[in-house]
Chain A
Amino acid sequence: MVRSSGRRQVIVVDRLRKAYGPAPAVDEVSFSVEEGEIFGIIGPNGAGKTTAVECIAGLREPDGGTVRVLGLDPQRDRAALHEHVGVQLQEGAMPPKIRVAEALELFASFYRHPASADELMVLLGLSAKRHEYFKRLSGGLKQRLSVGLALVGNPTIAVLDELTTGLDPQARRDTWELIEHVRDRGVTVLLVTHFMDEAERLCNRVMLVDHGRVTALDTPAALAESAGGGTHLSFLPSVPFSLEVLTRLPDVSEVVRLGERVQVTGTGDLVPLVLNALAHVGVQTHQVQVHSATLEDAFVRLTGPPTAAAPLAEVGRR
């Protein structure tokens, strides 16, 4: 269960399959999550993200394939699993008249080695609201509390599903910081989201799921680069120069003149590479603009309209 990176694999999913009708919701999905990382599952609505997570959390029984979480079978070893895996559900509702502190203390009472509810409230920024009823909390605070419930058992792994859906921009940013805090405490995070900026900001690696299948799995930067055409750098040179200076660079794929400006397209650490090469031949650059392909570009390209299904399947086989 140790990969070449040397880190322990805490979740291993192998050819997972789950169908609710004739069409499979999750089809031959395989991936593994390393200890200490934030692993993102992204994909359009109805792609099968939540179903996959529910199989991992032991809420659903897979039709085929295997799932191992910390070496446990989520179906057979449910009780042991829930001691170590905290789960925040997409539609986790609480009774309207339960107070914040009560909800945390209640969940703490289910675990053998719970976290302190008071400390969690500090971490979650909920201390001032400890006596508030659940129904009076704002959307962002409700989500915070629900993250708290996933953490109160001192889990090794936290599964967070569509955490920031419906939150305003500030609340989303606060929640992101919170997730980073959680990761810094040593908790492995499995994050399900359909927000690309969220995955890009938080995740060490992301898996793109579409129509129940894995279409890509890599770091957000690598995914963006592979599908979105890399980085575009454009500038105004101080003196004319031969474009060959740049075209012969290893990571540069294209160099074009746009009027007085020069635009370079490539991958990798394009910016220092280009600037160094130009400095070597005595060319200074002005008005430098850089546009990097984002995960969103990759997402749109990979999931795209239904007609783009063929190239998408090809990526999936990589």
Chain B
Amino acid sequence: MNATFTLIELKRIARDRTGLFFTAVLPAFFFIIFGTTVESKDTAIGSGNVATYVMISMAAYGAVTATTSTGGQAAMERMQGWGRQLGLTPLKDAHYVGMKAVIAMVVAGIPVLLIYALGAWAGARGSMGAWLGSGLIVLAGSAIFALYGVLIGTAFRSESAVGVASGSVVIFAFLGNIFITLSGPMLAVAKFTPLYGYVSLARYPLTQGYLPDGSWEPLWVPLAGVIGWGLVFGMLATWFVKRGRDRQ
């Protein structure tokens, strides 16, 4: 673990105001709008209330935006002059990947901490297990979207593609039962989209599987979604990275 590298990377991220706005400020703003100003915010859900439910959703959205863009930027860096420059030093690939993974987790932690702090202050209630469990799942699960960022960055090889990748998280969020509460056929379709399993799993410690429309789903449904999409992203990212290497 190279502390200098990690520290300088974190400083660079702190200087990226636009990036921080989209990964932390915007999801926090969404939480305040959708989670703390609605009438139903104190309505009970599982071991907590609606505010907690929205808090987890928005933290997940922010964390995934953060890991997607970190993964995408890392992929771009590797392919551009900077990656070649790093490739000429004794720095090992494994150290680089490990450092980027730490960075992605730290950056994902920013919206989670911010939104959970706002939640505690603005009336989100729940058991200790719901708070801790959901927070950890949000953080850990966001890692698979770093792979999504890597795969988009490597496949399209452009900065704008990385921007589009983080932007596409918004669409996945709508489709994945994060921004709006889905029901009926839309909900059935949503279960196959990338963010659904992740956010449902994160809410599980709070809801125990009960959905806002009153239905219940077993734990294996969100788990299958997370594992399935993790595998898809992982395999595609590996394939694109390999293809990129062969082309050099």
Determine the interface band of chain A, counting residues with CB < 8 A from chain B: 20 to 34
What string of 1s and 0s marks CB contacts (under 8 Å) between A102-117 and chain B?
A: 1001111111100000
A37 to chain B, nearest CB (A): 22
Interchain CB contact under 8 A, A95 and B82: yes
On chain B, the residues within 8 Å of A111 by CB distance are 89-90
Interface residue stretch chosen among A82-90, A217-225, A288-296 = A82-90
Interface size (B, Cβ < 8 Å)?
21
Interchain CB contact under 8 A, B82 and A93: yes
A186 to chain B, nearest CB (A): 21
Say whether A306 faces chain B, with CB atoms less than 8 Å apart: no
- From the candidates A57, A95, A97, name the one contacting B88 in the complex (CB within 8 A): A57
Knowing A97-B15, A110-B2, A110-B89, say if A92 contacts B8 (CB, 8 Å).
no
Residues 1-35 of B at the A interface (beta carbon under 8 Å) = 2-5, 8, 11-12, 15-16
On chain A, the residues within 8 Å of B15 by CB distance are 97
On chain A, the residues within 8 Å of B85 by CB distance are 89, 92-94, 149
Interchain CB contact under 8 A, A97 and B89: no
On chain A, the residues within 8 Å of B2 by CB distance are 109-110
Knowing A102-B11, A105-B4, A106-B8, say if A82 contacts B89 (CB, 8 Å).
yes
On chain B, the residues within 8 Å of A110 by CB distance are 2, 89-91
What string of 1s and 0s marks CB contacts (under 8 Å) between B81-111 and chain A?
A: 1101101111110000000000000000000
On chain B, the residues within 8 Å of A107 by CB distance are 89
Alpha-carbon gap, A79 to B90, bound state (A): 5
When C-beta atoms are compared, the residue in chain A nearest to B88 turns out to be A87
Residues 42-89 of B at the A interface (beta carbon under 8 Å) = 77, 80-82, 84-85, 87-89
Alpha-carbon gap, A173 to B36, bound state (A): 64
Question: B residues engaging A (CB < 8 A)?
Answer: 2-5, 8, 11-12, 15-16, 77, 80-82, 84-85, 87-92
A-B contact pairs, 25 of them (CB 8 A): A57-B88, A79-B90, A82-B88, A82-B90, A83-B90, A86-B88, A89-B81, A89-B88, A92-B81, A92-B84, A92-B85, A93-B81, A93-B85, A95-B77, A97-B15, A98-B12, A102-B11, A105-B4, A105-B8, A106-B5, A108-B4, A109-B3, A109-B4, A110-B89, A111-B89
